[in-house]
Amino acid sequence: MLLDTSPILDLAYHGDPSGVAATARAAEARGVGALFVAEAAHDPYVALALACTSTRRMTLGTSVAVAFARTPMATAYSAWDVHRLSGGRLVLGLGTQIKPHITRRFAMPWSSPAARMAEYVEALRAIWSSWQTGEALDFHGEFYTHTLMPPLFNAGPIDAGPPPVWLAAVGPRMVSVAGAVADGLICHPLLSRSYLTDVVLPTIQSSRAGGARAAEPFTVSSLCLVATGRTQEQLAAAVVRVRRQIGFYASTPAYRTVLDHHGWGELHEQAHAFTKAGRWTELGDLVDDEVLGTFAVVGGLADARAGLRERFARLAQRCCPSMPYVADELLALDLVAG
């Protein structure tokens, strides 16, 4: 799955929805191709609806919305409305989150996440097809069943057709689901070039080959941790925050497969023990320069921009910098827009 070009750099938005319209307007004016909104402390669909009002051309997407926090029907309505408001510019990026958040924060069921996610996407497409074509809704699955769609509740067709669905994935099982049922893959920020080359892309190729969607276009979008700044002081502070973010990711059992690929399973054990002891601010102390350089691009704006394109050249079509320390969205915009 080697490509001929370096990835397009997209903009991630993590702020309050009140600021997204201005950021999206500025990004489009500077030629940024897409803006993706994460789901953390705010609802991404609200932010994207606001971004629709200030843009006309750029792609708008979720990276990612938490699928299992909502039923397929609830997601279908939110995504359909944003897709219509934007004139068909939505990319629906979905992720599972981890079990404690689904069961304890959202109070929703958790089981067989890979199989559930595959069915979730198929349920979405069945609902959208009913709206687009007027045919009866008749979806029966192991986890979800949707068989009722009176005319009053039918959202109706969209000229652009349904939005593409990209899935966030780390381990081979969920990567395989993305290849089999989705239109794209969103790679987690705890990502190295070798893990993308040796694990992710071969899994996509094998799961997609011969399947129902084998002939359909497929997009690989990589999230990538970046430590950058306009001054040496800002850069140094960014490195501290990115080390801590890598340590946080390393503490999560679901992401251990990436560390094991590099022979760093012990880092997971140490980081997990730190979180159990409440030593959150010390997680960055576990991340040495080799680990930092493997999972993050570090440097001034120009060097970081070049580093992003070089890291995923010929492997991913798109790249979205992940900058967990950024309070000023203009820094991220300057990074991707040049």
Identity at 294, one-letter amino acid code: T
What is d(CA 97, CA 74) in angstroms, rounded to the nearest whole number? 17
CATH class of 8-232+297-337: alpha beta
For residue 35, list its beta bridge partners: 11, 60
185-188 LR contacts (CB < 8 Å, sep 24+): 185/218, 185/219, 185/220, 185/221, 186/63, 186/64, 186/93, 186/95, 186/221, 186/223, 187/220, 187/221, 187/222, 187/223, 187/316, 188/223, 188/249, 188/255, 188/258
Query: What's the mean pLDDT in 179-207?
Result: 96
Q: Which whole number is the average pLDDT over 95-110?
A: 96
- Helix residue ranges per DSSP H, 56-170: 72-85, 99-100, 113-133
Alpha-carbon span 118 to 113, nearest angstrom: 9
Give tens-digit pLDDT for 2-31. 565 789 999 999 888 999 999 999 999 999
264's tokens: 């760093």
Report the percentage of the chain scoring pLDDT > 90: 92
Q: Which helix (H) or strand (E) holds 320?
A: strand 318-322
Length of the chain: 338
User: pLDDT grade, residue 327 (50/70/90)?
Assistant: low
Does pLDDT of 328 surpass 70?
A: no
Token output for 338: 């040049």
Which of 301, 321, 300, 326 is closest to 311 using CA atoms?
321
Q: What is the DSSP string of 258-273?
A: HHHHTT-HHHHHHHHH
Answer yes or no: is pLDDT of 325 > 70: no
Domain range annotation of the chain? 8-232+297-337
pLDDT at 138: 98
pLDDT value at residue 27: 96
* Maximal C-alpha separation, the chain: 61
pLDDT over 90 at 329, yes or no: no
pLDDT at 145: 98
Angstrom distances, CA of residue 6 to CA of 2, 3, 127, 305, 308:
11, 8, 36, 11, 9
CA distance 45 to 61: 9
Q: What is the DSSP letter of 222?
A: E
Residues 147 and 278: their CA atoms lie apart, in Å, by 47
Angle, CA 140 vertex, CA 136 and CA 141 arms, to 5°: 150
pLDDT at residue 319 greater than cutoff 60: yes
User: What is the per-residue pLDDT across 235-280, written as a single tens digit (0 to 9) for each?
Assistant: 999 999 999 999 999 999 989 999 999 999 999 999 999 999 999 9
Three-state DSSP class for 186? strand
pTM of the model: 0.94
Measured between alpha carbons, how far is 88 from 38 in angstroms, rounded to an integer?
20
Using the predicted structure, report yes or no on whether residue 1 has a pLDDT greater than 60.
no
